[in-house]
Structure 1
């Protein structure tokens, strides 16, 4: 269901500079007027900035330095109506919907910040905006700028190029087609996102399937190994049983050999230690009665004499016992050598049988090649199973894809939409008395290049184009409708005849169900003022919003004298 938005009131306040701006909008046509550089564009840019569009921040640097807080009150119409207030204070946006508590977003100054992404999601849901664009090879929710783009013609580049009122959108991949498709109802963006994922999944599955088929069909060795698999399996079983027995015996012999070697080494090392002890005891300290260093007389107690003689005796006994053990072990050297010989023989047997197995052939297929391909045989079974799974999955994905439009259908619908647009555009070009284009491509929406016009002709052409585009997209069932904002409709040096043609065109094509906000340069010295245009073309039904009293420059904000204290308190309460 279409969501329609109408602005009710816009308020700006600087407590730092004691300045403010306030205006009420009419439901129909609103004419913003004032001297050049008075602040008309600032007013329009401030509205967009309030919604969180940071692209306007650089243009508002001068007044933002005064710490201005902005508030916009508007009404959303769909199945019912609800009033909304949105307040922005630098990095903070707070939104109050109907009587619900305000929702605050803190830190929205960067478009990639988490809070700005949350704000974008909230506003997208509020206005029913579901456009997705391709960022970094992935479809993601479109920016806030894309949400406002159809309904905003900027003063600087909006009257030179189509849909260029915001920076950065040119760098989005496939932006033009995705933008047009969404607003014309050719492709639903959620469907397109799902379709893109399914197409990628199918492509990956098909690539994997081709690779597996190639492996299975082209590997001749794999096929040969399959045919000879049973013969080699039998031969291998014949080899494995004696191999296991020989290998087990070999391991036992090696363990026995190591044990004998370790015992001999341990006893020999012990003998060395005991010999050192015996040498230290060979000196008869009992025979010494004088100290060899100081010539002091030494005396030995009975206990010392006994301990010395006991140690000497014990050492001799251990040496004798150790010698007997070593002699016994060395007597067993023959057995040790026998173990070594047996180990060597077993190694030869194991090695000989292994190489005999490697040299075994069946129809020129060796065991080594069979073993190498045995893994591939196992893999082949898995490949066949995986190929079956892939085929089933591809059928499933194709079933899901069948509900989406094919590329050919999309191309036909784009072509049809371009010709529908052409009929509307040609009518508006005629109304503005613009010289018709000779080349049809300048009328076909998806094909239009830069318009080869200048000055008032270019402005009129883009005016006709944008009215045609808005008229056409409003027929799309799910499209949101914002106020149509045209900044500086007399941009350039225009004669009165052209101005009258432009105003007459706007009056005749303004929609009764959509707010229109236009800005024009005005001055008290002008022969034809905004009031004159209102009377002549709009029967005084347009709302005039004057900036700077038609006499001042840079006068968007004026001195505050305490007129809106209750409203400011309410604004601060929303802001929290």
Structure 2
């Protein structure tokens, strides 16, 4: 179901200059009229500025110097009716919906400010606007300008280029396609976000897969290694089993040999110590009556004599035992030699078997060279493993992408939309008596370059284009419908015949339930006035909004007479 919006009244007030503007809108056609430079465009731009569209700020610079605050009251028609008031005072915007508390955004002067982003999200929610555009390689919620773009034709460039009434959108990547896809219901925004992410992931995975395949195909060493790996692996297994047995036995023999040698060495060293002790004891210090180094007389007790003789006996006994142990170990020298011989044999067996293995050849490839290429084989295995993981991920990603419309179907839907648009556009151009275009591209929505017309025919072409586009997008059930604002529909040097054609076209093809705001230049000296146009083309049902009494310039604001004090106070309270 389309959400539609209708403006109820617009109020502007400058406390500094004590000036104001107050307008109530008709639900149908509203004609803003006045002399050139009276403030008709200012009126329309101020409405857009009130919503937080900072692109209009530069156009309102002179007015904003007077500290003007703006208020727009409007109604949203959806599942339930909502009455909304939005007030802007420079960097502050306050929004009140029905009887709910007022929501304020402070610091919305910059489009990238935190508060402006919050404001954009808030407006998108109440208008159920979900277009996302690609900013800095990432899809993000579209700007407020994109929300109003289908429903606004600016005086300066709107009648020259299609969908360029706001600056900056041209620099958004893929703007035209994403913009059309959303408003025509071809690709849902959130689907596109997820699909874009999955497609990016799949492309990256496929690139990795391609690189791995190229490595496998281009590296001859890897291919040879894979062919010979099984043969050498089998031969290696034949070698390893006996090698382990021989090597284990050799290690045992070496340990046994070292153990025996260590024991003999220990006993021999012990014997040397005991022999030195024995030599010292053989000097018989008990026989001496004088100290061998001085003339001091020595005296020996019975205890000293006993200890001395005991030491001599113990030493003799230990030497005797030690000699016996050494003799016993020496007797096993044959065993030591046998161990040594067996060790040497095992060493030779191990060396010979390794030499045989090293020199083993398959297709002129030795075992040693195979060991070197074994790294490549391992690398190949890792590549295959990685390739398997990537292939699995590609499969999963492809399955997830299957729930989205395939590219061929999207192209077909775009093509169908373009031709549907063409039928409406051609009909409208004919009604406005625009000369047919020579190239079909100028009729196909997704392909139209700059339109091949100029002057009054260019304005008529763009009028037909905008009406055709709005008629088409209204068929998309989720698209919001804002009041259509056409600034300066007689822009340029128009003869009465062209004005008649334009007003007749608007009369016939303007939807009766779609609020329309148009501006035209008018003056008390004009032969054809806004009043006359209203009577002749709109059955006197259009609301006439006069700026400056058709005589004044820069007359958007007039002197405040105090007639709206209560409304002004309510407006100020919304900001406080």
- In 2, Cα distance between equivalents of 1:59 and 1:234: 90
Comparing 192-201 and 481-490, the one that deviates more: 192-201
- SS in structure 2 of the partner of residue 150 of structure 1: helix
Q: Equivalent residue for 1:310?
A: none
2:437–2:452: 8 Å Cα contact kept in structure 1? no
Partner residue of 1:220 out of 219, 223, 232: 223
For 1:571 and 1:356, how far apart are their aligned partners in 2? 100
Partner Cα separation in structure 1 for residue 68 and residue 236 of structure 2: 88
CA deviations 1:351-398 (Å, max 9, x no partner) are x98x98996665465676555555555555544444333333323222
Q: Contact conserved, 1:225 with 1:373, CA < 8 A, in 2?
A: no
> How many residues in Structure 1 have an aligned counterpart in Structure 2?
474
SS of the residue 2:83 aligns to:
strand
Match of 2:440 in 1: 440
2:233 maps to 1:229? yes
CA distance in 1, matches of 2:67, 2:359: 91
Q: Does 1:135 align with 2:135?
A: yes
**Would the alpha carbon gap of residues 221 and 93 (structure 1) be closer, same or farther in structure 2, given more than 3 Å must change?**
farther
| Equivalent residue, structure 2, for 1:428 | 428
- The 10-residue stretch of structure 1 (129-138 or 534-543) with the greater mean CA deviation from structure 2: 129-138
Q: CA deviation at 1:151?
A: 0.6
Aligned residue in 2 for 1:46: 46
In 2, are the aligned partners of 1:28 and 1:512 still within 8 Å (CA)? yes
Give the equivalent residue in structure 2 for 1:163: 163
Matched, 1:393 2:396: no
Between the aligned partners of 2:97 and 2:509, the Cα distance in structure 1 is 32
Q: Distance in 2 between matches of 1:205 and 1:33?
A: 61
2:543 corresponding residue in structure 1: 543
- On the 8 A contact 2:236/2:357 being kept in 1, the answer is no
- Which structure is larger by alpha-carbon Rg, 1 or 2? 2
SS in 2 for 1:228: helix
SS in 2 for 1:49: helix
Shift, 1:65, TM fit = 1.3
Q: Which deviates the most, 561-570 or 54-63?
A: 561-570
Q: Counterparts of 1:368 and 1:463 in 2: how far apart (Å)?
A: 83
| Matches for 1:336-485 after TM superposition, within 5 Å | 363=362, 373-485=373-485
User: Quick check: 1:129–1:147 contact (8 Å CA) kept in 2?
Assistant: yes
Q: Retained in 1: the 8 A contact 2:359–2:368?
A: no
- Cα deviation, residue 414, structure 1: 1.8
- The Cα shift of 1:117 comes to 1.7
Conserved? CA contact 2:151–2:483, under 8 Å: yes
Report the Cα offset of residue 125 of structure 1.
Answer: 1.7
Is structure 2 residue 523 aligned with structure 1 residue 523? yes
1:358/1:531 CA distance change after superposition, 3 Å: farther
| Cα distance in 1 between the residues matched to 2:208 and 2:32 | 62
Residue in structure 2 matched with residue 27 of structure 1 by the alignment: 27
Task: Compute the displacement of 1:95 (Å).
Answer: 1.5
**2:567 match:** 567
1:299-314 to 2 correspondences below 5 Å: none
Residue 7 of structure 1, CA deviation: 0.6
- Structure 2 residue ranges without an equivalent (≥5): 256-346
Aligned to 1:17: 17
Deviation of 1:421 after TM superposition, in Å, equals 1.3
Distance 2:237 2:89 in 1: 81
- d(CA) in 2 for partners of 1:232 and 1:529? 105
Indicate the residue corresponding to 2:175 in structure 1.
175
Which residue of the partner structure matches residue 198 of structure 1?
198
Q: 1:440 to 1:543 in 2, by over 3 A?
A: same
TM-score after normalising by structure 1: 0.76
Q: Answer yes or no: is the 8 Å Cα contact 2:148–2:482 preserved in 1.
A: yes
Q: What is the rounded CA distance, in whole Å, between the counterparts of 1:31 and 1:375 in structure 2?
A: 83
Q: Which residue of 2 aligns with 1:490?
A: 490
Aligned partner of 1:311 in structure 2 is none
Task: Please list every run of 5 or more consecutive structure 1 residues that lacks an aligned counterpart in the other structure.
Answer: 250-348
What is the distance in 2 between the residues matched to 1:110 and 1:368? 71
Stretch of structure 1 that moved more, 221-230 or 151-160:
221-230
User: For the residues of structure 2 that align with 1:368 and 1:20, how far apart are their CA atoms?
Assistant: 96
The answer for the alignment partner of 1:507 in structure 2 is: 507
Structure 1 window deviating more from structure 2 (563-572 vs 177-186): it is 563-572
Q: Which residue of the partner structure matches residue 67 of structure 2?
A: 67
For the Cα contact (< 8 Å) 2:30–2:544, is it kept in 1?
yes
Post-superposition Cα deviations, 1:518-568, rounded to whole Å, max 9, x if no partner, equal 001111221221112111211211111111121111111122232222222
- Alpha-carbon distance between aligned partners in 2 of 1:459 and 1:206, rounded to the nearest angstrom: 49
For residues 20-49 of structure 1, what are the alpha-carbon distances to aligned partners after superposition, in whole Å with 9 as ceiling and x for unaligned? 111111100000111111111111111111
Q: Shift in Å at residue 231 of structure 1?
A: 4.2
8 Å CA contact 1:232, 1:370 repeated in 2: no
1:90-145 C-alpha deviation (Å, 9 max, x unpaired): 22222112221122222222222222222212211211111122222222221111
- Cα distance in 1 for partners of 2:394, 2:404 equals 16
What secondary structure sits across from 2:108 in the alignment? coil
* Contact 2:432–2:502 under 8 Å retained in 1: yes
1:437-494 CA distance string (max 9 Å, x none): 2332222222222222221111111111111111111111111100000000010111
CA distance in 2, matches of 1:533, 1:488: 14
Question: What value does the CA root-mean-square deviation take over the aligned residues?
Answer: 3.0
Query: Is the Cα–Cα contact under 8 Å of residues 35 and 550 in structure 2 kept in the other structure?
Result: yes
| Separation (CA, whole Å) in 1 of partners of 2:19 and 2:467 | 36
Contact 1:11–1:72 under 8 Å retained in 2: yes
Aligned partners of 1:226 and 1:377 also within 8 Å: no
Are the structure 2 counterparts of residues 381 and 428 from structure 1 closer, same or farther at C-alpha, using a change threshold of 3 Å? same
Measured against aligned partners, the alpha-carbon deviations of 1:189-246 in whole angstroms (never above 9, x if no partner) come to 221222211222222222233333444565125413454235447767959968x979
CA offset at residue 413 of structure 1? 1.6
